[in-house]
Amino acid sequence: MAVLTLLARRLAAALVLLGVLSALTFGLLAASPGGPEQVLLGSRPSTAETRAAIRAEYHLDDPFPVRYARWLGDAVRGDFGVSIYSREPVTDVIADRMPVTASLAGYALLLTVAVGVPLGLVAAMRRGGALDQGITLAALVTLAIPPFALSILLLYGFAVALGWFPVFGAGETPLDRIVHLTLPAIALAGAQTAMVVRQMRAAALDLAGQDFLTFARARGLPRRRIWLGYALRNAALPVLTVGGLLLAANLTGSLFVEQAFGLHGLGALLIGAIGQKDIPVVQALVLLGGAIVVAVNLLIDLAYLAVDPRVRHGAVTS
Amino acid sequence: MTLLDVGGLTVTGRHLIVDGVDLNVSRGETVGLVGESGSGKSLTARAVAGLLPKGLTATGSVTLSGRELLGARERLLRSVRGSQVALLMQDPFAMLNPLRTAGAHVAESLPRLPRAARRAEVLRRLAEVGIADPSVAGRHPFQLSGGMRQRVALAAALARDPELLIADEPTTALDATTQHEILMLLRGVQRARGMGVLLITHDLRVAFELCDRVSVMYAGRIVESGPGSGVAGAPAHPYTSGLLAALPSVTVTLPRLEAVPGSVPHAEDVTDVCAFAARCGQAEPECGQARPPLRELSPGRRTACLYEVRPRPRTAPPALAPDAAPAGGTLLRVEELRKRYGGHVALGGVSLDVGAGESVGVVGESGSGKTTLARCVLGLATPDGGRVELAGLDVTPGARAARREGAHRLVQCVFQDPSTSLNPALTVGATLAEAAAQGRAEGRPSVAELLDLVGLPTAYASRRPRALSGGERQRVAIARALAVRPALLICDEPTASLDVSVQAHVLELLRTIRRELGTALLFITHDLAVVRQIADRTVVLFRGEVVESGETARVLDAPAHDYTRRLLASVPPTP
């Protein structure tokens, strides 16, 4: 029961959020310099006829709410209009770029979790020791390196000097893609891993002083059970939140890394669209970004429900 | 036959904490290790289980069934823990994994079993600790009460059938009646299994009620040991004798509560002398020259005192007649106070009066609404209905006619835990000056006067709370509350987190303040012995309702309500 109310509340909040975002996004076009018809004309010659044609095509003479409603109706059906720059449907343009960004985001998250969680745990276990200090220092340094600088370092070291990885592009076959995306994923995951390490270390340190860990040891439980069932599971909650937010950020495009590795992802698309004043594409990307953040947050809530019985039974609100 | 043998156990961290403790527990025997906070008793228990916190090291010897555990490899310790020695800890709210069910806790501790047998075994184990309802196995710790959690923890600790159970203050965090149930359960399980139990407690009464033998710990060493009845009847060390004298009694109102003066020294400061000499009433020069050995008085009876302890004149002290009810009118009037938190009724129409200069005790368990009552009177919580009247003014929080300004000069509060109720960043002097500035300008007490009032030296004004002991902090908190010269002082369990000897001091201080300043007290407590010492009248709260009220002596000597009788029955007898 508590689960359903929680989900219903979260869904309602998500819808309201997306509604506000869509209104703002649509307002972009109306508020753009030179008026909507100028933007929609793009590079085409601006004559009385073309302008009239545009006004008719986009129903620009209708009142704002009616235009918004029509646009929203189309958007919900997946129709964001046509890119002013390429004259292709916006949906196709985005669908074309999505796979690269999605695989990069997934790959980076995998690396972040696979490296960050164990390192954070180990640092907490060896608190104050040389290993802890090494890990903490490394995390701090990694956090301080900007992603594009790390990209260039990796490119120079592993792609140019050693020649282990390709310099450019996203690859065609799945295996090829993994090879192509390895360096970008590492560049993207670097700072994020450092964040997860610090988060995990703090969460695990918090746990180390807890009576239930001592009590588990006092009962002679095997070490594996204590670390997985007790430490990892209890420390997972704050890390889940951070991991989700990182995933959302990566999915909406990782500008610097895409630029550095010449990947045609959503980040590069967004930069291009803004440069070319391709408002329909920008609108779709902004709305997509909003939807991704909302969806990932819902997923985090669901994960909390799965992990923590206190949330499941409505004893605490997350 | 000896199960556990501890010899010369020393625990050192940055300082010496436990200094040469000898202890043994036989099969089927319950041994109590009694001491106040800082005596090293809990770390002794942890050292025995090989679970000392990081940074502490133990030397000496700990043998369990002939096997040396101290310095043993973690591998060996892990095979011994659970199956031979189990540790039950103090706080049932922190001891269980919040993400696992009660049943899972027991199941994971059991030896390997097929699935179906495992489920039946879990239920059997829960039944052993008095949980008959099988649905409890599927519940999570946050859905269980403190007593239930402690039962589940006990079942988990016993799952591998250990020969020795170390129980570290297993009932301290529980209500009086639950405490009694858990102690009786512990005794029952111990007898049924013929297990050895090492019970760590600060409560002499609990130790004497449950234990065959008792060892008293002070400043990291054992100062006296012997059979429970022997130690209770004729203490052979001045410290034990002082602790016994400081125990409040539920049957008589003592004219004076004897506190042990001073505070516990660090173990390493007193390695070569008698640790208690500085606080002892009968110390001789010899006590400061060498460390007194634990000498044998009779078989099984030892003391670390060189002399015979002078008996305290405490044979049937004259019961103190309650102070005549002061002539003043009603100071606080609470009428039909109601407060709900969600579906939980904290106060279901509570009415009570406190006269000027009168002391009224409010007794009840956690969840009885006694703290909510205090918060409503203080204006910290808004009641759903009812009235609070202070000196004729309607001060009901949230009510339209309420006039709260000035109410803080009429009523002040002393909270339970002085370690969190004082601002750690301010010196004692700054805290007191700040509090005094809230009062009227004329007759505003100075910091020195306030410190003097609670019996602290003036030099304490420049100290910060961290540099004070628990009892001293609580005295500062009392001085802070008195800074505006309130007519009513609300005390919310002010001694619950203090040691017995310090508790006596604080109670005596509150009695003196009431006598000399005429401050009325509303004293909230779960401890009937404490209420006997401090309150003229007592109100018993049960689930947000007043079930009984009247003169303290009458309520405690001739209880009319079942619940009051139950509370009284759960008080361990005062030796």
Q: What is the pLDDT of residues A270-295, one digit of tens each?
A: 888 888 778 888 888 888 888 888 88
Chain B, nearest residue to A307 by Cα: B99
The pLDDT tens digits for A69-81 are 888 888 778 787 7
**Among candidates A211, A218, A225 on the partner chain, residue whose Cβ is nearest the Cβ of B81:** A218
Residue A317 in domain? no
With a CB cutoff of 8 Å and minimum separation 6, the contacts of B388 are B332, B333, B334, B335, B337, B376, B377, B394, B395, B396, B397
Q: Which of A25, A41, A76 is the last residue of a domain?
A: A76
Dist CA B298 CA B106 (whole Å)? 44
What confidence score (pLDDT) does residue B313 get? 56
Q: Is the pLDDT of residue A203 over 60?
A: yes
Mean pLDDT of A212-217: 88
Residue A82 in domain? no
What confidence score (pLDDT) does residue B315 get? 47
Question: Same structural domain for residues A289 and A167?
Answer: yes
**Among candidates B86, B91, B100 on the partner chain, residue whose Cβ is nearest the Cβ of A219:** B86
Question: Same structural domain for residues A301 and A230?
Answer: yes
Q: Quote the tokens at residue B349.
A: 């129409």
**Could you tell me what percent of chain B has a pLDDT over 90?**
27
Band of pLDDT at residue B265, cut at 50, 70 and 90: confident
Residue A91 in domain? no
CA dihedral B374, B380, B382, B385 (to 10 degrees): 20
A225 lies within 8 A of chain B by CB: yes
Q: Which of B216, B222, B227 is nearest to B274 (CA)?
A: B222
With a CB cutoff of 8 Å and minimum separation 6, the contacts of B310 are B282
Mean pLDDT of B439-466: 86
Decide if B305 contacts B247 (C-beta within 8 A).
no
Return the CA Rg of chain B.
Answer: 25
Question: Same structural domain for residues A178 and A249?
Answer: yes
Question: Same structural domain for residues A58 and A108?
Answer: no
| Contact flag A215-B87 (C-beta cutoff 8 Å) | yes
The more confidently predicted of residues B72 and B316 is B72
| Tally of domains within chain A | 2
The pLDDT tens digits for B514-541 are 888 889 999 999 888 899 999 999 999 9
Q: Which long-range contacts (CB under 8 A, 24 or more apart) does B61-64 make?
A: B61/B5, B61/B6, B61/B7, B61/B8, B61/B9, B62/B4, B62/B5, B62/B6, B62/B7, B62/B9, B63/B4, B63/B5, B63/B7, B64/B3, B64/B4, B64/B5, B64/B163, B64/B164
Q: Average pLDDT of chain B?
A: 86
Q: Using alpha carbons, list the distances in angstroms from residue B461 to B427, B449, B450, B479, B542.
A: 7, 11, 10, 12, 41
What confidence score (pLDDT) does residue A317 get? 45
| Contact flag B89-A217 (C-beta cutoff 8 Å) | no
Q: Which of B83, B10, B71, B65 is nearest to B43 (CA)?
A: B10
Kindly report the number of other CB atoms within 10 A of residue B111's CB atom: 11
Q: Is the pLDDT of residue B179 over 80?
A: yes
What CATH topology corresponds to B2-84+162-222?
A: Rossmann fold (3.40.50)
Question: Same structural domain for residues A218 and A179?
Answer: yes
Q: Which of A204, A190, A278, A267 is nearest to A235 (CA)?
A: A204
Q: Is the pLDDT of residue B419 over 90?
A: no
CATH number at residue A150: 1.10.3720.10
Band of pLDDT at residue B214, cut at 50, 70 and 90: very high
Give the angle subtended at the CA of B229 by the CAs of B226 and B233, to the nearest 5°: 100
Break chain B into its structural domains and give their ranges: 2-84+162-222, 332-569
Lowest mean pLDDT among A157-161, B1-5, B7-11, B360-364: A157-161
Residue A284 in domain? yes
With a CB cutoff of 8 Å and minimum separation 6, the contacts of B348 are B338, B369, B543, B544, B545
Mean pLDDT of B166-178: 85
Question: Same structural domain for residues A33 and A130?
Answer: no
The residues with which B522 forms a beta bridge, in sequence order, are B360, B490
Q: Is the pLDDT of residue B32 over 90?
A: yes
**Among candidates A220, A308, A310 on the partner chain, residue whose Cβ is nearest the Cβ of B78:** A220
A104 lies within 8 A of chain B by CB: no
Q: Using alpha carbons, list the distances in angstroms from residue A102 to A168, A251, B41, B407.
A: 18, 6, 58, 63
Question: Same structural domain for residues A180 and A254?
Answer: yes
With a CB cutoff of 8 Å and minimum separation 6, the contacts of A164 are A158
The pLDDT tens digits for A77-119 are 878 777 777 778 888 888 888 888 888 888 899 999 899 988 9
Question: Same structural domain for residues A23 and A59?
Answer: yes
Q: Is the pLDDT of residue A233 over 50?
A: yes
Dist CA B523 CA B395 (whole Å)? 20
B65 lies within 8 A of chain A by CB: no
Residue A175 in domain? yes
- The residue among B100, B112, B166 with the most chain A CBs within 10 A of its CB, best to mutate, is B100
**Among candidates A212, A233, A310 on the partner chain, residue whose Cβ is nearest the Cβ of B96:** A212
Mean pLDDT of A55-60: 75
Contacts of A315 in chain B (CB under 8 A): 142-143
B20 Ramachandran zone, left/alpha/beta (phi>0; psi -120 to 50): left
Band of pLDDT at residue A239, cut at 50, 70 and 90: confident
Quote the domain boundaries for residue A220.
98-312
Q: Is the pLDDT of residue B408 over 80?
A: no
B109 lies within 8 A of chain A by CB: yes
Q: Which of A76, A108, A130 is the last residue of a domain?
A: A76
Q: Is the pLDDT of residue B401 over 60?
A: no
| Contact flag A218-B99 (C-beta cutoff 8 Å) | no
Q: Is the pLDDT of residue B191 over 80?
A: yes
Residue A21 in domain? yes
**Could you tell me what percent of chain B has a pLDDT over 70?**
95
Band of pLDDT at residue B502, cut at 50, 70 and 90: confident
The pLDDT tens digits for B104-145 are 999 988 887 888 888 899 999 999 888 888 888 999 888 888
* CATH architecture for the domain at B332-569: 3-Layer(aba) Sandwich (3.40)
Distance of CA A165 to the CA centre of its chain: 25
Q: Which of A271, A280, A299 is nearest to A101 (CA)?
A: A271
Band of pLDDT at residue B93, cut at 50, 70 and 90: confident
Q: How would DSSP label each residue in B214-261? A: EEEEETTEEEEEEEHHHHHHS-SSHHHHHHHHHS--SS---SS--PPP
Return the CA Rg of chain A.
Answer: 24
CA dihedral A295, A298, A300, A305 (to 10 degrees): -150
SS percent in chain A: helix, strand, coil, step 5? 80, 0, 20
Residue A86 in domain? no
Question: Same structural domain for residues A107 and A138?
Answer: yes
